[in-house]
Amino acid sequence: MGDKFLNEGLKYFFLLLWLAANVAYWVVTFLVYEQGPQYFYIRRITGVGLSIAKASGATLNLNSMIILLPICRNLISFFRGSCATNTLCRRSVRRQLDKNLTFHKTVAYMIVIWTIVHVVAHAFNFRNLYNHYLCVTTNNDDLCDGISAIGRKFTVKPEDNWLNPIQGAKNLPAGLGLIEQALIPIAGWSGAVLTLVLILMFSSATEFIRRSYFETFWITHHLFIVYFAMLLAHGVGGIIRSQTNLERHDVVFCSENLDEWSSTSQQCEDPVFKDGSAASYKWVSGPLFIYLLERMIRFWRSCQTVTLTKVVKHQSKVIELQMKKKGFKMEAGQYIFLKCPSISHVQWHPFTLTSAPEDDHFSVHIRVVGDWTRDLFKAMGADKPEQQSQEELARVAVDGPFGTASIDIFKYEVAICVGAGIGVTPFASILKSIWLKSVNNSASLKLKKVYFFWICPDTNAFEWFSTLLDSIDTHFTEQGKPDFLKYYIYLSRGWNNTQAKNIYLQEEQEIDAITGLRQKTHYGRPKWDSNFKMIAEENPRTSIGVFFCGPKALSSVLHENANKFTSLTPDGAKFFYNKENF
């Protein structure tokens, strides 16, 4: 039972395609430098390290081109919207767009791997180049054996026809060590800076740094500007040179017959070399332009005036910000980035919209969980007993909205929504939109049934959401659709012995003792195997969308169950897993 390929097949296809592109491009470039006659003499000096370094550098260009695209949120939203209106663009394709940040991180790992290979290979290359330089200048044949004579042949050529960058490119002073020789050319120092920047960006992008020291992560990650600048500069020096007169210089014959070399020889004309050409700009110019356009759009939107119409303080340290912004249009389940300049000018934080598109405002619910949210709580006057006037509230900037996986809920007839703690916020917007579409008898409402699971850590967390649930439940009951919304609220902890006794005594009441809703609260954690099995049995021959917002550990459990209980038989249910990613 179950079919993992239905949920994961396209993801693995794209990953294999990307990996195949890396391997194929590496191999092709490696063979060009390893077998190409134009690089015969430089290979005699460096060995296989040259081919490995150049092949790794080529794949670095490929991945540096790709890595910017997944973080262009407007581009992702545009493609998601195009896919939503295109019948040829299946939901499985749209779901891959929601894995943009995961793919961004995966590409970053690949860049680190190829950088290590590239740097190590060039370390050996420069060791060999330096030995060749010493053997030519000191006449010590033991340092480089068979290439010393060839090296001396090159030294008598004009300054613009050198092969070894150490002995010819910059006329370096005698006595410099290997490290100094390697760093003086533009390719050397730009490569060193590029590697250092990559180390800083990669090490500060760990989850611990991002959560605990966000500004450190933000500042170091914006060193990508230096990274791309150094990447573009790295190949400008053209220190790996290729031979241009192969038709008048047979490298195999001439390398074994040095006495045949002559400027007038038909078979062994003195070799002529030219600088290598820079290639990085061909790969990254397009993505850099797209990203620049992305940042300009986001900057323009963030500068637009946002009016805070209402600040509501809920229990469990949750505040609701109701806002208005000219030209702001949203869909259910989308998210925005929020900045409060009085707290930080660089920190933008993502929050799912909890209002519906049909509302005359847009809103977010924010739980205090860290320094920034604690400062926002105070900036909005939520720490004071009296309501603050609009003039006393801190100014906020809004960027967005952006599309997420939750938008696709209206593409299914049956949906499972799972929210953990404050992860319920996207479903507040979705359920409210469903309710309003039903009230207005909207023809676009394809949904026939919604299973809603909410796992809460304490009893206070129910307060702000229970009113909405009660209104939706009452509406569909009055419409004769009591089974349209089935909600299962789980209280994972947060009750004492006295509360437990009160809950037990009120168990026979029609209204739940904790939430005040008609459907009873469950205590502990859901048994997902049983729940998925029940839903599959209740909805045969149905494609079911599973939507989740919450921690990674629970996401893995839900994903596994979606795969486990998916059936490809005609009478079976098919579960399509979707997770919110910011």
- CATH number for the domain spanning 361: value is 2.40.30.10
User: What contacts 46, CB < 8 A, 6 or more positions away?
Assistant: 124, 125, 128, 129
Same domain, 509 and 528: yes
Residue 210 lies in a domain: no
Same domain, 47 and 161: yes
Same domain, 460 and 535: yes
Mean per-residue pLDDT pooled into runs of 10, the chain (582 residues) = 61 90 96 91 87 94 92 81 54 73 92 94 86 68 55 58 66 56 77 92 86 82 92 84 86 81 79 83 91 89 86 79 87 85 85 83 83 86 75 85 79 86 76 76 73 75 67 75 79 56 49 54 79 88 85 85 82 83 65
pTM reported for the whole predicted model: 0.79
- For the purposes of burial, counting CB atoms within 10 Å of the CB of 470, is it exposed (0-12), middle (13-18) or buried (19 or more)? middle
Instruction: Single out the residue in 353, 378, 402 at which a domain terminates.
Output: 402
Same domain, 368 and 490: no
φ and ψ at 360, to 5 degrees?
Answer: -90, 10
Same domain, 49 and 171: yes
Nearest to 578 by CA among 33, 17, 97, 118: 97
Residue 415 lies in a domain: yes
**What letter does residue 507 receive in the DSSP assignment?**
T
Give residue 465's domain range.
405-579
Residue 252 lies in a domain: yes
Residue 52 lies in a domain: yes
Same domain, 488 and 415: yes
Residue 221 lies in a domain: no
* CATH number assigned to the domain comprising residue 438: 3.40.50.80
Alpha-carbon gap, residue 578 to 10, rounded angstroms = 14
Same domain, 461 and 499: yes
- For the purposes of burial, counting CB atoms within 10 Å of the CB of 328, is it exposed (0-12), middle (13-18) or buried (19 or more)? middle
φ and ψ at 78, to 5 degrees?
Answer: -65, -50
Same domain, 41 and 175: yes
Same domain, 398 and 429: no
Residue 420, beta-bridge partner list: 455
**Number of domains making up the chain:** 3
Same domain, 261 and 174: yes
Instruction: Single out the residue in 402, 423, 442 at which a domain terminates.
Output: 402
CA 302 to chain centre: 22
Same domain, 378 and 458: no
Instruction: Single out the residue in 286, 321, 354 at which a domain terminates.
Output: 286
Same domain, 58 and 122: yes
Residue 277 tokens, joined: 């050409």
pLDDT computed for residue 504 by the predictor: 47
Residue 223 lies in a domain: no
Alpha-carbon gap, residue 543 to 464, rounded angstroms = 32
Residue 305 tokens, joined: 């005036």
